[in-house]
Structure 1
Amino acid sequence: MPSSSQAKMTTVTTLFTPTVMVLQTTLFLTAWLTIYLLIQLYGPYPVISSLTRYNSRIYSFLSLLLLLLILSPYETLAREAYHLSKIYEYIDIFGVVAAGGHVGLHFGFHHTTTVWLTFVRVLPEGENEGWRWFAAANAAHHVLMYAYFGGWNGELMRRVLVVTGLVQLGLGMVVDAVVAWGRWYGLGGWWRMAVSGALLGGYMVLSLMEMRQREEERAREAKLGTREGGKEKDK
């Protein structure tokens, strides 16, 4: 007879059926829209920015614990915890919207679909080879990224995050390609890696587009500042 802990772990895994996944995504999008409409009516809540910063510090620490769990022998628990962490990250969207911020395409698409990536790629028994590679790299990236959002920022950290962000995605795509190739003949389940790799590729493209847009905005601001400085000298 399985222990109570084993029963709990089985329950967590079997809870996430396709129907439940569709339902929880629908609830997430509904909550997102509801918060947005409330902010349009009553304005943003200034306290949300502080709460989001504290949440980022907490999640940075939790990401470190998650990384250690992913690297531990407790594979089933680690896979479930990693999947649940993607649901927890919905808070990022809620916080930005409640503070009156803008949710870009990369941010919105990423946070809406990562839970589907882990559902397809990480949770299934026997068809998840190599899941630890991206999960560990992703958790390590989140340790730094949420520390940055929590206040440990600076130009050096920003540059480090650009590298770690792209490296984790590239690593995940390579591992997915290798595992899919190995499963192409006989084993089946290669489509899971194809879905995961496609999503990771989408994140990378959107991330690069976002970085390019930010660089263009900085260039425009610098150019505008130079012009205004020249006008002041002419006075």
Structure 2
Amino acid sequence: MDTLPHLLTSTLTLITLSLTTHHHVTKHGRLPLAAPLIKANNNIYALASLLFCIASTCSFDVFPSHRPSPSLHRLGDYVRHHEDQLRYIYHISKIWEYVDPLLVLANGGKVGWHFGVHHLTTPYLTYIRILPNSNSNHEGWKLLAALNTLHHFFMYAYFGGMARFRPVLPVTGCVQLVVGIVGEMVLIRRAVWMGGDGGGTAVWWPNAVSMAVLGVYFVLFVDEVRGARAVEDGVEKGEREDEGEEELRN
């Protein structure tokens, strides 16, 4: 999954399976194992996201002499010496997310704009910006990956049954995107000012692509959050009106 033809093949496979699943569910109803599979997948991905977040955070070169524990220090050293593998694992995890829309459709759910666009395009973003063989400029990727996996831990844990994490999701989702967009802007400016490696041509197009894609995610994410709040406000208003009618009847 580390070449463009493989990515295109996986995308076409996802689209084909999604259309087939939607057609089957429309005619025959939701698949019986979809709900337990969704919960299991959410819990597994939440745990994987937490582990990745811890590993990437421990590898930051910030105050190395004040590590909270020798185990985390060793983990950080290991990650720094195997960063190529860490990038590849992060990329593969985004292809793993292709499972999400399929399970949602199999359970009779709908795939919204943010959900669909994000899951469909993220593997291409990691291919351009993070994979070792696609671009030599990876600066800043671990910070964004750490924030992204932290958000995914809360999000997948919430969908796995941890309802208490719901208030955190708009914050972590917004922070990761804003930090990513601002970070890419800083890197682009630095690349333009400094130029490339001796040739005077700055390699900043992957950062520009990343910034544009993250900008699209941000717009769709904010729209999704606003839509969810509007629905909640409508439900609460309806409940209050029903309570008022009951009081009048009594």
Query: Is 1:66–1:81's contact at 8 Å kept on the other side of the alignment?
Result: no
Query: Is 1:45–1:99's contact at 8 Å kept on the other side of the alignment?
Result: yes
Partner Cα separation in structure 2 for residue 223 and residue 69 of structure 1: 45
Question: How far is the alpha carbon of 1:118 from its aligned partner?
Answer: 0.3
Question: How far is the alpha carbon of 1:69 from its aligned partner?
Answer: 4.1
Q: Which residue of 1 aligns with 2:244?
A: 230
Q: Deviations over 1:130-157 (max 9, x none)?
A: 1111111111211222111111112xx2
Partner Cα separation in structure 2 for residue 47 and residue 19 of structure 1: 32
Query: Is 1:69–1:78's contact at 8 Å kept on the other side of the alignment?
Result: no
Query: Is 1:122–1:131's contact at 8 Å kept on the other side of the alignment?
Result: yes
Q: Deviations over 1:91-144 (max 9, x none)?
A: 111111000011111101110011111011111241222111111111121122
Q: 1:125 to 1:69 in 2, by over 3 A?
A: farther
Confirm or deny that 1:130 pairs with 2:144. Answer: no
Confirm or deny that 1:90 pairs with 2:98. Answer: yes
Q: Which residue of 2 aligns with 1:16?
A: 2
Q: Deviations over 1:180-208 (max 9, x none)?
A: 11222522321111111111111111111
Partner Cα separation in structure 2 for residue 228 and residue 146 of structure 1: 34
TM-score by length of 2: 0.83
Partner Cα separation in structure 1 for residue 158 and residue 236 of structure 2: 24
Q: What stretches of structure 1 move > 4 A for 4+ residues in a row?
A: none
Q: Which residue of 2 aligns with 1:116?
A: 124
Partner Cα separation in structure 2 for residue 51 and residue 173 of structure 1: 34
- For structure 2, which runs of at least 5 residues remain unmatched after alignment? 60-78, 197-201
Query: Is 2:128–2:135's contact at 8 Å kept on the other side of the alignment?
Result: no
Cα RMSD after superposing both structures: 1.5
Q: Which amino acid aligns with 1:190?
A: W
Partner Cα separation in structure 2 for residue 230 and residue 60 of structure 1: 42
Q: Which residue of 2 aligns with 1:141?
A: 151
The structure 2 residue matched to 1:158, chosen from 166, 184, 204, is: 166
Q: Which residue of 1 aligns with 2:221?
A: 207
Partner Cα separation in structure 2 for residue 216 and residue 148 of structure 1: 20
Confirm or deny that 1:30 pairs with 2:16. Answer: yes
Q: In the TM superposition, what are the counterparts of 1:158-177 in structure 2 within 5 Å? A: 158-177=166-185
Q: Which residue of 2 aligns with 1:57?
A: 43
Partner Cα separation in structure 1 for residue 3 and residue 213 of structure 2: 20
Greater shift in the superposed pair: 108-117 or 180-189? 180-189
Partner Cα separation in structure 1 for residue 149 and residue 231 of structure 2: 30
Q: Which residue of 1 aligns with 2:205?
A: 191
Greater shift in the superposed pair: 190-199 or 141-150? 141-150
Query: Is 2:113–2:220's contact at 8 Å kept on the other side of the alignment?
Result: yes
Q: Which amino acid aligns with 1:140?
A: L
Partner Cα separation in structure 1 for residue 233 and residue 147 of structure 2: 32
TM-score by length of 1: 0.88
Partner Cα separation in structure 2 for residue 17 and residue 58 of structure 1: 26
Question: How far is the alpha carbon of 1:28 from its aligned partner?
Answer: 1.3
Question: How far is the alpha carbon of 1:225 from its aligned partner?
Answer: 1.6
Partner Cα separation in structure 2 for residue 151 and residue 171 of structure 1: 28
